Chain A
Amino acid sequence: MKKLLLLGDEAIGQGALDAGLSGAYGYPGTPSTEIIEYIQKNSEAIKRNVHRTWSANEKTALESALGMSYAGKRVIVTMKHVGLNVAADAYMNSALTGANGGVIVAVADDPSMHSSQNEQDSRFFSKFALLPAFEPSNQQEAYDMCFKAYELSEKYNLPVMMRITTRLAHSRAGVERKKTIKENKMHLPQNPDQFMLLPAFARKKYQHLLSINEDLVKESENSEFNTYQDGKDKSLGIIVCGLAYNYVMENLDIEKNNFSILKISQYPIPRKQIEKISSECEKLLVFEEGMPLVEEMLKGYLDKGIKVSGRLDGTLPRAGELNPQIVRKALGLSKLESQEIPLVVENRPPALCKGCPHIDTYKAINEITAKYGKGHVFSDIGCYTLGFLPPYNAISSCVDMGASISMAIGAADAGFFPAIATIGDSTFGHSGITGLLDAVETDSNIVIFIMDNDTTAMTGMQDSQVNGRIEKICLGIGVPEEHIKVINPLSRNHEENVRIIQKEIDYTGVSVIIPRRPCIHVYKKSLKKEKNK
């Protein structure tokens, strides 16, 4: 069969589909977004009518996935690493309920923070939850592992994590498809209390989870994805996790450097192979794309065993993603000849697009806050976060999705005035609604801007869950109707908008201002559509 040229993300989408997927849930987030986007556009998924929608946030997505699993079907839920924090409650508890139909929790980590507010390694979550995880090293493995992940998930009735990182998520390579598997028929859990976590039941389930951990280790030891290349030179043993394997193989000339290499792509870590490599080799070098999970386990707190090098002893940088250069240096190989970036080159950071509606909103806000001094605007995550940069310098914070509203509440409670929040429409749907409820309940003196650009722009124009119902949501939560103001952020409305904003700042209580104008890319697309009609 001809190979498909797929991004790592797409390979997971295709793999899940071919392994009998019935539903996909997720919340957009770089670098995970293309998994669902691929499934949404895939003609077979459309023909089969595989469920494939975005959810309000990662937690609702994971819970919906559990529901589909309860009904016996295979399901995938996708998110970026910080999304798993939001879904953590569901994820941790799903370790006890387990799965009925197979569940893949696909999490894309972003070491080096190419498009994220932090870097964290989701393998720690899987270890924390005592759940198995896969970490593909290439697109073909990402595809193949979906089959294995569902098999494992249904064998042990556990959700299985598929952990990837930016470079695999957004890199294309040829992928060969396997024979497809039919979707599961609907069937409820055999045990009617499987999804019941009343303490008396939960305790038993936790014991069960602990008791099968050894079986999961055995699965890893026998996994086709955990490979052991026996080397002649025992002075060094190399342990590589997932994608890091590629950088080692890129650099190492096995003819010349015949070291043993243990590649780990299925967790919990395979004990038998770890024992073998550490008993046969004089020292160990560990390469992990992310945080030093395996390295820390091997070293132990007292660091008294075999010498282990990696991110903790400075052989590799403690933070950031790996690349061929870093790995080459750690292997002790000579540098390839290369030149510096010429001094003439300047940075070109991302910026708000020309004509972006957020620009006009920030101009209006800036004009007013100028008289109160700096630092009055708490913001959130989306294109509008770029309003922190010059020439706007309009906002002071970006922490986690929804934090703008809640932080404004806290600051207002401390007596800070005016306390302003700016939050995008999709972010409002994700985690802003609950903050607004707090604000209304405590009659907080804040002004919230819900910047409605008709889309989830930052991650590539996905639909926003709250589209068309923002005012109703605010009204329903209890914001007084006369303090829900829709404005059109255009330079010709500047004076009027400034007046409206000033009035709401002067009002003591919760105000919501909704600057509404589509992202210019959405606008241009709609113009094109009109024209084609």
Chain B
Amino acid sequence: MKKDIILAGVGGQGILSIATIIGYAAIESGLNLKQAEVHGMSQRGGDVQSHLRISDRQIYSDLIPHGGADVIISVEPMEALRYKPYLSPSGWFISNSNPVVNIPNYPQIQNVIDEINSLTKKVILDADSIAKESGSAKSMNMVVLGAASKYLDLPYEKLEEGISYIFGRKGEKVVEINLIAMKAGRAIAEKGLQ
């Protein structure tokens, strides 16, 4: 078993929480893991990415090769496309459809969405609205994780445990909201809604 996952977004959007939860589920499933993060300069509202590698064999490189990613998970649509070179020909592309417009030259959002729609294996979803319906706009990242969970080959319960593990400190209510958000995201992927 091997899953190479690129996580993408804009500083502050919570991709590291996604990474931690997947990481937790992988470790609890007895798999090896490597996760490269971006720290420092790149975080002032710039683009951030994380390379997450899971395997039942030894993992060497901390970075995923171009053409090697099994899944790209992004909480922002243009950021998702930035990592297209990493996508393997059989890889899945999961992205939130809501743009973060913090640069003056952000492209027409329809052009971004069209570009994503030209891919065959993709799930693109309005994770912001689904998160709000689930109880908190902040759980947008969990909606995206939920949609991606279908393609991760990890037991869903382990991801749920991961949510309890990282949000437990913040109280039961927060855990509950994030669980609902992840489930809602998963439902979208199951329906094949795009």
The answer on a CB contact under 8 Å between A351 and B84 is no
Q: How far is the CA of A170 from the CA of B85 in the complex (A)?
A: 22
Q: Contacts A336-B68, A341-B82 known; A170 to B38 CB distance under 8 Å?
A: yes
CA distance A172 to B38 in the complex (A): 11
B126 located at the interface, meaning its Cβ lies under 8 Å from any Cβ of chain A in the complex: no
Is B45 within 8 A of A344, CB to CB? no
Q: In the assembled complex, which residues on chain A have CB atoms less than 8 Å from the CB atom of B89?
A: 337
Stretch at the interface among A52-60, A242-250, A308-316, A403-411: A242-250
B42, B51, B79, most chain A CB atoms within 10 A: B42
Task: Please state if A170 and B36 are interface contacts (CB–CB under 8 Å).
Answer: yes
Check B33–A5 contact: CB distance below 8 A.
Answer: yes
- In the assembled complex, A369 has its CB within 8 A of some CB on chain B: no
Contact between B45 and A31, CB atoms less than 8 A apart:
no
B44 and A250 contacting across the interface, CB-CB below 8 Å: no
Least Cβ–Cβ distance between A249 and chain B, in angstroms:
4
Q: Check if B36 sits within 8 Å of A171, measured CB to CB.
A: yes
Cα distance A249–B57 in the bound complex, in angstroms: 13
A478 lies within 8 A of chain B by Cβ: no
What number of A residues sit within 8 Å (CB to CB) of B?
A: 50
Query: How distant is B71 from chain A, measured CB to nearest CB, in Å?
Result: 15
Residues of chain A within 8 A of B51, CB atoms compared: 171
Name the A residues within 8 Å of B59 (CB-CB).
Answer: 173
Tell me how far the C-beta of B32 lies from the nearest C-beta in chain A, rounded to whole angstroms: 7
> Are B62 and A171 in contact (CB-based, < 8 A)?
yes
Which of B10, B51, B61, B106 has the most A CB atoms < 10 Å from its CB?
Answer: B61
Give every chain B residue within 8 A of A255 (Cβ-Cβ): none
Of B37, B44, B68, B87, the contact of A350 (CB 8 Å cutoff): B44
Which A residues from 240 to 269 make CB contacts under 8 A with B? Answer: 243, 245-247, 249-251
CB of B27 within 8 A of CB of A174, answer yes
Q: Which of A345-402 contact B (CB under 8 A)?
A: 345-353, 383, 386
A221 on interface, CB distance cutoff 8 Å: no
Contact between A345 and B78 (Cβ–Cβ < 8 Å)?
yes
Task: For residue B39, give the distance in angstroms from its CB to the closest CB of chain A.
Answer: 5
- B1-45 CB contacts (< 8 Å) to partner A: 10-11, 23, 27, 32-45
Contact B81 A345 (CB under 8 A): yes
Query: Which residues from chain B contact A251 at a C-beta distance below 8 Å?
Result: 65
Question: Which one, B34, B38, B85, B102, contacts A339 given CB within 8 A?
Answer: B85
Closest residue of chain B to A336, judged by CB?
Answer: B67
A462 located at the interface, meaning its Cβ lies under 8 Å from any Cβ of chain B in the complex: no
A350-B46 contact in complex given A173-B33, A338-B67, A345-B78, C-beta closer than 8 Å: yes
Is there a chain A Cβ closer than 8 Å to B64's Cβ? yes
Residues of A1-57 whose CB lies within 8 A of B: 3, 5, 7, 30-31, 33-34
Question: In the docked arrangement, what's the CA distance between A310 and B58, Å?
Answer: 26
Q: Do A351 and B64 touch (CB < 8 A)?
A: no
The residue of chain B having its C-beta at the shortest distance from the C-beta of A348 within the complex is: B47
Query: Given A5-B33, A249-B60, A353-B44 in contact, is the A339-B39 Cβ separation under 8 Å?
Result: no
The answer to whether A115 and B23 touch across the interface, beta carbons within 8 angstroms, is no
Asked if B111 is at the interface (CB within 8 A of a chain A CB), the reply is yes
B10 contacts A348, C-beta separation under 8 Å: yes
| A345 vs B63: C-alpha distance when bound (angstroms) | 22
Are A172 and B37 closer than 8 Å at their CB atoms?
yes
Q: Are A324 and B41 in contact (CB under 8 A)?
A: no
Q: Given the known A-B contacts A114-B41, A246-B60, are A173 and B34 also in contact in the complex, defined by CB atoms under 8 Å? A: yes
- Rounded to whole angstroms, the CA-CA distance of A386 and B46 in the bound complex is 12
> Does residue B105 face the partner (Cβ distance < 8 Å to A)?
yes
Q: Are B85 and A167 in contact (CB under 8 A)?
A: no
Q: Does B133 contact A (CB under 8 A)?
A: no
Residues in A with CB closer than 8 Å to B43 are: 350
Q: How far is the CA of A323 from the CA of B86 in the complex (A)?
A: 12
Question: B115: which A residues are within 8 A, CB to CB?
Answer: 342, 344
For B41, give its contact among A33, A344, A458 (CB under 8 Å). Answer: A458
* Interface status of A168 (Cβ within 8 A of chain B): yes
B67 contacts A337, CB within 8 Å? yes
Interface centre among B27, B60, B68, B84, by most A CB within 10 Å? B60
Contact (A172, B33) CB under 8 Å given A5-B27, A324-B66, A345-B81: yes
* A336 to B70 Cα, complex, angstroms: 13
Residue among A30, A172, A243, A348 making CB contact with B23, cutoff 8 Å? A172
8 Å CB contact of B63 from A323, A336, A337: A323
- What is the CB-to-nearest-CB distance from A451 to chain B, in angstroms, rounded to a whole number? 15
The yes or no answer to A328 lying at the interface (CB within 8 A) is yes
Q: Closest residue of chain B to A3, judged by CB? A: B27
A159-202 at interface with B (beta carbon < 8 Å): 167-168, 170-174
Contact status B66-A174, CB under 8 Å: no
Instruction: Specify which chain A residues have a CB less than 8 angstroms from the CB of B38 in the assembled complex.
Output: 114, 170
Q: Looking at the complex, which one of A173, A336, A459 makes contact with B65 (CB distance below 8 Å)?
A: A336
* Interface contacts beyond A324-B64, A324-B68, A328-B65: sample of 4 additional A-B pairs, CB < 8 Å, sorted by A: A170-B38, A336-B88, A344-B112, A348-B102
Smallest CB-CB A-B distances: 10 pairs: A338-B67, A30-B40, A336-B67, A115-B40, A324-B65, A115-B41, A350-B44, A350-B46, A171-B62, A250-B61
Q: Which residues of A contact B (CB under 8 A)?
A: 3, 5, 7, 30-31, 33-34, 114-115, 167-168, 170-174, 243, 245-247, 249-251, 323-325, 328, 335-342, 344-353, 383, 386, 458-460
Binding site for A on B (CB under 8 A): 10-11, 23, 27, 32-47, 51, 59-68, 78-79, 81-82, 84-89, 102-103, 105-107, 111-112, 115
